[in-house]
Chains A and B, each alone.
Chain A
Amino acid sequence: MTPAIEITGLKKTYTTGKNTKMEAVKGVSLTIPQGEFFSLLGPNGAGKTTLISILAGLGVKTEGTVKIHGVSIDENPDLAKSFIGLVPQEFNFSIFEKVLDIILDQAGYYGITRKDALPYAEKILKDLGLWEKKDQQAQALSGGMKRRLMIARALIHKPQILLLDEPTAGVDVELRRSMWDFLRELNASGTTILLTTHYLEEAEQLSRRVAIINNGEIIEEGSVQQLLSKLHFITLHLDTVESITEAIMLLLRGEPLVREDEHVLKLTLKPGATLNEVFRKLSSVGVHIKNVRTTGSMLEEVFIQLIEKKNS
């Protein structure tokens, strides 16, 4: 089957001054099969938005090839664009327009008449909880509603590929989870999704495959499981019943434990190592564990370790 997105040797250089240039994307190659839920992770300025902009036709590449459903963006850009729906990072609709008009106008740009687009516009606005706001000007919407409006707008022409650039930035937890459910359903119905996000939990929860991009280069790519297997260590925080004294720490010498607080120990565990040995040792010195916490998502640990490794 033709891949949904096929990127080969993609480069993008910005001219930043008279004689200065900045290479935002440095020869990225990436293949995303149809029906995939793919996440692109990376810190600010890594090149995520630049990459998405080129795919959507908003950016001009310097080098490389990009094919959308087998169609080159150089040879037939208009056809390539017809496969894509874009949810950008920043709000980019007229705040003076009514919600329904924004959706129906977007349908018009894709060659769908207002009359033909209306039933589907009603469906997606209802699915995203915006139907009751259809006659309101966009400026009256809350931040979360504006984000959902951009998703509805991107879907009105039923694209085969949905590109989402940090879609849940600034969205509260409850709404974020409802948007995840919506995206999961959309992906299950066959839409290929490429997501960039800062929320590593988001990528972990939603995607089957992940690529980590840093300084314009893909530094790791694979399934979530494959990436997690690259963890060099796992950090756990153990809340103790007893106070951790210096004497106890002396008894625990040699164990991968560091005192963080009077009642908190940090455990750095190598993949494959078990907790039993550590817990047995803690019991033997009279320390009881009442809670075990992680610092964040497992993927976040991979992310941090990979970026640190690359930078060093």
Chain B
Amino acid sequence: MKSPIIVGYTTMVRKEVVRIFRIWTQTLLPPVITMSLYFVVFGKFIGSQVAPISGFTYIQYIVPGLVMMSIITAAYMNTVSTFYFAKWQRVIDEILVSPMPSWTVIAGFVSGGIIRAFLTGVLVVIVSLFFTHLAIFNFFILFSAAFLTALLFALAGIVNAIYAKSFDAISIVPNFVLTPLTYLGGVFYSIHLLPPFFAKISLLNPILYMVNAFRYGFLGVSDVSIGRCFAVIIAFTLVMLLWTLILFRTGAGLKR
């Protein structure tokens, strides 16, 4: 007989997976199209005119960053939209009245975000193979960087959704925080190419560490040490996890 907690968790995950595939034109297709355009425009058209970076062609260099960008967006958007919609329709009450512990509920929502992030990441990698050759330098680092980053942004999506009081509030963070940080997080360039001042400023951007850890997994090159990358990712993930747990415990933004 399955444990009630496992049954509750698998119910939530099943529901999330069904939703992701039911509305695949909103969840899986857009990042594939967007990233294909990046590969064509930046990788082929412009990239062919750019000198190799760390011994890799420009398109090879940007593919890991673009995959990571789609992972971040997918993980974040999945939880922020599912959670906010559930809160707005009060469907979240179905879960809040149940005896599932808070951490199981969080795990259910977060798993949905991670699954969508991985599906998106794999699809973008497959599309990238039409444009360039890719090898994996270290699968464990690649997987760990992707998993922890997806976990971090899935949690961040929940926090955003809990605080959000309108649909506008769930688009503020992606538009005004996430997108600028991602674009300035070393997706398209190595920070060694920047003037020293901007290179130092870039080190304050947490997404830089995620992109570089992921790139290291693919190419074996990184602007910052891999240990430092994981230390930053793990620290941010723990803070976000704690924040989410506190919000659930106090019921802030969830309970009346």
The yes or no answer to B165 lying at the interface (CB within 8 A) is: no
Bound Cα distance from A105 to B96, whole angstroms: 13
Nearest residue (CB) in A for B255 is: A60
The yes or no answer to A50 lying at the interface (CB within 8 A) is: yes
Q: Are B8 and A86 in contact (CB under 8 A)?
A: no
The yes or no answer to A78 lying at the interface (CB within 8 A) is: yes
The yes or no answer to B97 lying at the interface (CB within 8 A) is: yes
Which residues of chain B are near A84, meaning CB under 8 Å?
Answer: 97
Given contacts A110-B98, A111-B5, A111-B8, contact A59 B93 (CB under 8 A): no
Bound Cα distance from A93 to B255, whole angstroms: 17
Chain A interface, number of residues (Cβ within 8 angstroms): 29
Q: Are B8 and A109 in contact (CB under 8 A)?
A: yes
* Residue ranges of B at the interface with A (Cβ–Cβ < 8 Å): 2-5, 7-8, 10-12, 14-15, 86, 89-91, 93-101, 250-251, 255-256
Bound Cα distance from A85 to B101, whole angstroms: 17
Given contacts A78-B101, A92-B89, A94-B89, contact A109 B94 (CB under 8 A): yes
Partner of A113 from the list B7, B89, B97, B256 (CB cut-off 8 Å) is B7
Q: Are A57 and B7 in contact (CB under 8 A)?
A: no
Partner of A93 from the list B4, B11, B94, B96 (CB cut-off 8 Å) is B94
Q: Smallest CB–CB gap between B239 and chain A, Å?
A: 24
Bound Cα distance from A58 to B3, whole angstroms: 24
Q: Are A106 and B94 in contact (CB under 8 A)?
A: yes
The yes or no answer to A244 lying at the interface (CB within 8 A) is: no
Q: Smallest CB–CB gap between B74 and chain A, Å?
A: 20
Which residues of chain B are near A88, meaning CB under 8 Å?
Answer: 90, 93
Bound Cα distance from A57 to B15, whole angstroms: 23
Q: Smallest CB–CB gap between B88 and chain A, Å?
A: 11
The yes or no answer to A153 lying at the interface (CB within 8 A) is: yes
Bound Cα distance from A50 to B89, whole angstroms: 18
30 A–B contacts, CB within 8 A, in A order: A50-B256, A57-B96, A57-B255, A58-B97, A58-B255, A59-B255, A60-B250, A79-B99, A84-B97, A86-B93, A92-B90, A92-B93, A92-B94, A105-B94, A106-B98, A108-B8, A108-B10, A108-B14, A109-B94, A109-B95, A109-B100, A110-B4, A110-B99, A111-B3, A111-B4, A111-B7, A111-B8, A111-B99, A113-B7, A114-B11
The yes or no answer to A56 lying at the interface (CB within 8 A) is: yes
The yes or no answer to A65 lying at the interface (CB within 8 A) is: no
Interface string of A77-113 (1 = CB under 8 A from B): 0110110101010101111000000000110111111
Q: Are A112 and B94 in contact (CB under 8 A)?
A: no
The yes or no answer to A53 lying at the interface (CB within 8 A) is: yes
Nearest residue (CB) in B for A108 is: B11
Partner of A58 from the list B7, B89, B100, B256 (CB cut-off 8 Å) is B256
Which residues of chain A are near B97, meaning CB under 8 Å?
Answer: 56-58, 81, 84, 86
* Residue ranges of A at the interface with B (Cβ–Cβ < 8 Å): 50, 53, 56-60, 78-79, 81-82, 84, 86, 88, 90, 92-95, 105-106, 108-114, 153
Nearest residue (CB) in A for B15 is: A105
Bound Cα distance from A110 to B256, whole angstroms: 22
Which residues of chain A are near B5, meaning CB under 8 Å?
Answer: 111
Q: Are A78 and B99 in contact (CB under 8 A)?
A: yes
Partner of A108 from the list B7, B86, B96 (CB cut-off 8 Å) is B7
Which residues of chain B are near A105, meaning CB under 8 Å?
Answer: 11, 15, 94
Bound Cα distance from A50 to B256, whole angstroms: 8
Bound Cα distance from A56 to B93, whole angstroms: 10
Which residues of chain A are near B251, meaning CB under 8 Å?
Answer: 60
Q: Are A153 and B256 in contact (CB under 8 A)?
A: no
Which residues of chain A are near B99, meaning CB under 8 Å?
Answer: 78-79, 81-82, 110-111
Which residues of chain B are near A82, meaning CB under 8 Å?
Answer: 99
Which residues of chain A are near B100, meaning CB under 8 Å?
Answer: 78, 109
Which residues of chain B are near A106, meaning CB under 8 Å?
Answer: 94, 98
Q: Which of A60, A81, A108 has the most CB of B within 10 A?
A: A108
Which residues of chain A are near B98, meaning CB under 8 Å?
Answer: 81, 106, 109-110
Bound Cα distance from A88 to B96, whole angstroms: 13
Bound Cα distance from A57 to B101, whole angstroms: 12
